[in-house]
Structure 1
Amino acid sequence: MSDLEEEEIDLLEEEFTRATKFIECSHDQFDQKDLLKFYGFYKQATVGKCNVPKPGIFNVSGRTKWSVWNDLGDLSKESAMKGYILHLVGLKPEWDQVSERDDFKPQKGSWVSVSTHANRDEEDDLSGDKSIVDFIKEGNLAEVQSALQSVDEDIGSIINALDEEGLGPIHWAADRGNIDILRLLLQVPRTNVDFRDSGGQTALHFAASCGNRECVQLLLEFGADRTVRDDEGESCVDVAFDEEIKRLLM
């Protein structure tokens, strides 16, 4: 490889790094489908060709992310970086200028949250009697607290139970990044901080993959096991993209 080619790759990597940091600070400005596309290019650029098995049928979020990565086939890392940047340019043509402005203030959060559970459209369809999970989805702390206090049966059978989507209350709170609700759930004596969803993931997996740093820190404070691996063999570090979160989990 010539010196010129090496310099071009270095410049590409620098621009790719700036682009990923921009997405990290501005992910809430993009649609879910675009975030998924960024995810696929990111994995291809940093890891290479998809090298993990397709997640199980109940791991909806994992299957979606796996598909966008696997669809890129043998695309080179350099082409993946270019694809990432070009997709960002198409959506935000002035992104690089904006990120360099003195008044640009990154928003607190993750590089990307691609969980299909984070789509809030589903909340509009909630009607009739609501469960604790419904209130968690809405981010309604007061109702979650009231619902917990009104439980007549064994609280453990409510807190440590999977819903029809294969998730427990603690997973939903970590997915949504609601630190107050997550803290409330963790303070319930019977809550299992390492409770697994139908795909073997813990709340720490969810918080890490969604980039919810405060939730990651809180779960660790409550003794969450960072070494747990899901049904696909991935730990919470493996599913994290935020470098600060990765450092927290090391």
Structure 2
Amino acid sequence: MANSESADISQLDKTFDRAADHLQSLASQLDSGQLLGFYGLYKQATVGPCDTPRPSWYQTQAKHKWEAWKALGDMGKEVAMGSYIRAVGKLDPTWEKDARLGSQAWVTVSRLPNTDVELRDIDKTLLDWVKDGDEEKVRDIIARDRKSINVSDDSGMLPIHWASDRGYMPTIKCLVENGAEVNARDNEGQTALHYAASCGHAEVVKYLLSVGAQCVKDNDGMTPKDVADEQIAALL
């Protein structure tokens, strides 16, 4: 039994490596969200759960990569490999038609149910819909549960932080109109204005300022203006 399990894992490793190699040919077709999803799964599969310190929040690209990895929590390496392989298969169903995979490898992958990073709609929270930029779903959830506006993730990020980070103006307006605190801080002392400024979302910065956002310092003593480019800094 032990030898059989080892063989399954070895075959899964090989399939995963082939999937990772194939993804390189598809990378130009993917948006940033998809690339981050694959990055998180790859790190989880090769390293394990994220155990590195969160990058400085003004390191935008590094911060997004860290968040994609950290969001997978304690997902096991084999589960992450299976999810990665299936995700590549969704992008290109024919990618492995010429691969010589043993039957046990197929069994191993098929025994990883419900582990895709993509959540079912029924399981999504307000934070998930905000990240998706789905204003209709955001309004629907708020109408049923206004308290969800103040529910944060493990980093202390509220829906308004995530919407500002992604630059989703309609969602931001929806949140503010329904009572979201524009100067709310996450665990690092950062506000929605910090995120919008660091990501270069000029229209979001203008809007947040118009509804009372303040240029306060975070836990490291940095204001939104300190981490903005020249165009955004001029607005602040």
State TM-score, norm by structure 2.
0.53
Q: Based on CA coordinates, which of the two structures has the bigger radius of gyration? A: 2
Identify the residue that residue 111 of structure 2 maps to in structure 1: none
Structure 1 gaps of 5+ residues are: 1-27, 33-56, 66-111
Name the CA distance, whole Å, in 1 between partners of 2:183 and 2:154: 19
Q: In the alignment, which of 195, 201, 204 is matched to residue 212 of structure 1? A: 201
> In the TM superposition, what are the counterparts of 1:46-195 in structure 2 within 5 Å?
60-62=54-56, 65=59, 115-116=63-64, 124-127=117-120, 128-151=122-145, 155=146, 157-189=147-179, 191-195=180-184
User: For residue 218 of structure 1, what is the amino acid of its counterpart?
Assistant: Y
C-alpha contact 1:208 1:245 (8 A) present in aligned 2:
yes
Q: CA RMSD in A?
A: 3.2
Aligned 8 A contact 1:196 1:202 in 2: yes
Q: Does 1:224 align with 2:213?
A: yes
Residue 189 of structure 2 corresponds to residue 200 of structure 1: yes
1:115–1:175 CA contact under 8 A, matched in 2 = no
- Is the 8 Å Cα contact of residues 58 and 198 (structure 2) preserved in structure 1? no
2:195 is aligned with 1:247? no
Shift in Å, 1:192: 1.0
1:187/1:64 CA distance change after superposition, 3 Å: closer
How far the C-alpha of 1:244 sits from its partner, in A, is: 1.2
In 2, the alpha carbon distance for the partners of 1:223 and 1:208 equals 15
Distance 2:209 2:134 in 1: 24
**Post-superposition, which runs of at least 4 consecutive aligned residues in structure 1 deviate over 4 A?**
117-124
Aligned-partner Cα distance in 1 for 2:117–2:136: 19
Asked if 1 retains the 8 angstrom alpha-carbon contact of 2:58 and 2:227, the reply is no
Deviation at 1:161, TM superposition (A): 3.1
Number of positions where the alignment pairs a residue of Structure 1 with one of Structure 2:
144
Q: 1:186 to 1:214 in 2, by over 3 A?
A: same
* Structure 2: 5+ residue stretches without partners: 1-31, 37-50, 73-115
* CA pair 178-59 structure 1, distance change in 2 beyond 3 A: farther
Conservation of the 8 A alpha-carbon contact between 2:57 and 2:63? no
CA distance in 2, matches of 1:205, 1:136: 18
Is the CA contact 1:58–1:199 (under 8 Å) kept in the aligned structure 2? no
Matched AA of 2:223: S
**Cα 1:135/1:171, change in 2 over 3 Å:** same
The structure whose RCO (Cα within 8 Å, separation 6+) is larger is: 1
